[in-house]
Amino acid sequence: MSADRAKPTLRPANPNFSSGPCSKRPGWSLESLSDAPLGRSHRAKVGKDKLEEAINRTRDILQVPDDYRIGIVPASDTGAVEMALWSLLGPRPVDMLAWESFGSTWVSDVLLQLKLDGARKVIAPYGELPDLTTVDFSHDVVFTWNGTTSGVRVPNGDWIPSDREGLTICDATSAAFAQDLPYDKLDVVTFSWQKVLGGEAAHGMLILSPRAVARLESHTPAWPMPKIFRLTKGGKLVEGVFKGETINTPSMLCVEDYLDALKWSEGLGGLSGLRARADANLRTIAGWVKARDWIDFLAVDPATRSNTSVCLQIVDPAVTTLDEKAQASFAKSIATLMEKEGIAYDIGSYRDAPAGLRIWSGATIETSDIEALLPWLDWAFGEVQGG
């Protein structure tokens, strides 16, 4: 592709393709937040009602079983995962699964911070899943459902036995609201508002099965527990956390924004409508990739391709023969050019991931914007290649 290739004429209406915080829903405006109880206590009835409404709408859309608890917790998905690790791990050995950056972070936390004996790493390089048949479910198991920084997801929950002895702790932050999560196979599910629904940052969601609650009430961690991690008192679950009585002060403006996104989701038909939008975006990108010889998915197996955090690698021989630093510079130049043109913001690969591009394709992204973006990527590749 020559450097003087003509620019495409059609531009995405929305250039926000960041993988977090992600694009707001179509039609969003600040007026959507006009009902937020600003200046009021989150412990006042109006605040507690809003928080409880957020929990209830989450349960309905995600089809969470009635006997599972749902809580709003501090510090985004990271806070929810850390709360689960620090509160639940210890009684059993633990298998830590990782195939991308955030999974690797949880491995480091368990091995280097909690320093658990019997912790075992089950890992794979970017683009692949580890051998899931090697996971020992007499252990607790910690894993990401969808690797946000690799674009690799587990295809289903068939590899998790229903009669497992340990707990399964699943970081589902870029999967919730876009992929089917089999709750009968998951004891802890975490996510944040700023991914698939395009909510604001800093708030996490923690979903607990009855088995996870039983562990909390029977296990006392061997380490000191910060206040924001404490889910039990006197050996009993603090039920208020799962009814909107948050551990610390939430932003009621962010809560209102989350409620707006949940109501929008309901208008699409709930989870099925959200998933269909993300799937359509993935199909559009997949068709484009298939017809190109310069770019490919980072995910090796098509069955594991994410429908939200689509990670791509440049496979043109003129680029792959460059050293690692030059390959990274080439990919960064494409992302920079897209931002300069106002076509796509924040589409460079994650800092710890292989060089390439990452396009958010979750439900808040219109397929028409994906369709408009792709010819610009062809153009940008030609421009950077031509020097």
- The domains of the chain, with CATH numbers, are 30-267 (3.40.640.10), 271-386 (3.90.1150.10)
pLDDT at 5: 72
Closest alpha carbon to 310 in 340, 343, 280: 280
Burial (CB count <10 Å: 0-12, 13-18, 19+), residue 30: exposed
Return the structure tokens found at 213. 């609650």
Closest alpha carbon to 204 in 84, 109, 309, 45: 84
How far apart CA 92 and CA 140 sit, in angstroms, is: 6
Q: What are phi and psi of 216, to 5 degrees?
A: -60, -40
List C-alpha distances in Å: 160 to 93, 223, 287, 327.
17, 29, 32, 38
List C-alpha distances in Å: 9 to 44, 87, 381.
52, 54, 16
Helices 252-267 and 45-62 cross at an angle (nearest 10°) of 30
pLDDT at 10: 98
| Cβ atoms of residues 37 and 50 within 8 Å | yes
Strand locations in 183-314 (E): 188-192, 203-208, 232-233, 236-237, 295-297, 309-314
- Going residue by residue through the chain (387 aa), what tens digit of pLDDT does each one get? 334 478 999 999 999 999 999 999 999 999 999 999 999 999 999 999 999 999 999 999 999 999 999 999 999 999 999 999 999 999 999 999 999 999 999 999 999 999 999 999 999 999 999 999 999 999 999 999 999 999 999 999 999 999 999 999 999 999 999 999 999 999 999 999 999 999 999 999 999 999 999 999 999 999 999 999 999 999 999 999 999 999 999 999 999 999 999 999 999 999 999 999 999 999 999 999 999 999 999 999 999 999 999 999 999 999 999 999 999 999 999 999 999 999 999 999 999 999 999 999 999 999 999 999 999 999 999 999 997
* pTM for the full predicted model: 0.97
List C-alpha distances in Å: 154 to 313, 354, 361.
20, 20, 17
pLDDT at 349: 98
